[in-house]
Amino acid sequence: MKFSQLKKLTAMVMVTGLVVVGGTGLIVSADSSTSGGSAEFVPNNDPGTPIDPTDPGQENNGGGDQTGNGGELKIVVRPTLVFGEQKVSAADKTYYASSLKVNDNHHGGIWEPRYVQVTDDTGEFKGWHLTVAQLNQFTGVTSGKQLDGAKITFNNGRKSSMFTDTSTANFLGVTSQPTVLLQNIGATYKYTVMDAKAGSGNGSFVTRFGDQETQYIDGTTENHHNISLFVKGGTAGKEVYNTTLSWNLENTPK
């Protein structure tokens, strides 16, 4: 009798033990390991992609002013100044450059401000410095005479970028000059347009001169007061006058 009760008790303990172990859901790991992942980035020497100056998330698929320059640090777009046909005047006059027709994925062809674009594909975050110089005074193509005292001014310079997060050091370290007056003429007179201090300027940045322009006159855009040419009265004759601007990009911030 005692032997029979002992067997029953033993069986109950064994069954109870199985229930407890199975109820906890314990899993004992037999082995574990880790694996890694890596990615390497190298400088990009391809020509930069022009972006829309007022909607920089979009590409500018045409409209001119592109340089086609390659290299790790490059000027992708710089403005061509077209002041158009004007009447000879004995009075001092200020004339305004035409706007730029931009084609992007959203708007098709629209008139927008002239702009300059720098793209830094070095991946080094060293910063850079962009200047402009007027190499020679406006000179008549027929007479060779200069428009003495004529001056170019870039007005309403505004920074924009391909980045939507404008709180980063990369974005905040880039500045655009609101006004650039080409007071003196010659290669040694370089005027700051845009600057990226060390730790910033990676990617594409734009200084546009003015805001989006969509008004039309006889099928062309109205010339807004963003890039101006002052001409003294009595200096312009009946001919075409040309000048040359030099846009210079250095890999050292100021």
Read off the tokens for 188: 């040694």
Nearest partner of 147 among 159, 134, 133, 156, judged by Cα: 134
Query: Phi and psi (nearest 5°) for 249?
Result: -120, 120
Q: How far apart are CA 162 and CA 203, in angstroms?
A: 8
Residue span of the structural domain in which 158 resides: 84-97+125-250
Task: Give domain status of residue 41, yes or no.
Answer: no
The predicted-structure confidence for 179-206, as pLDDT tens digits, reads as follows: 999 999 999 999 999 999 999 999 999 9
In a domain, residue 7? The reply is: no
Q: What is the pLDDT of residue 29?
A: 80
**Is 172 a member of any domain?**
yes
Return the pLDDT at 7: 47
For residue 225, pLDDT beyond 80 = no
pLDDT level of residue 236 (50, 70, 90 thresholds): very high
> Does any domain span residue 49?
no
pLDDT for position 213 = 53
Mean pLDDT in residue range 21-47: 81
What are the tens digits of pLDDT across the range 209-219?
Answer: 988 654 444 44
- Give the tens place of pLDDT for each residue, 138-180: 999 999 999 999 999 999 999 999 888 999 999 999 999 999 9
231 part of a folded domain: yes
Task: Identify the band that residue 39 occupies on the pLDDT scale cut at 50, 70 and 90.
Answer: very high
Task: Answer whether residue 139 is part of any domain.
Answer: yes
pLDDT for position 21: 46
Cα–Cα dist 75/44, whole Å? 14
Contact between 75 and 59 under an 8 Å Cβ cutoff? The reply is no
Give how many domains the chain has, as a whole number. 1
104 occurs within a structural domain: no
Confidence bin at 254 (pLDDT 50/70/90): confident
Q: What is the three-class DSSP state of 23? A: helix
54 belongs to a structural domain: no
Q: Give the total residue count for the chain.
A: 254
What's the rounded mean pLDDT across residues 232-245? 97
| pLDDT recorded at residue 99 | 83
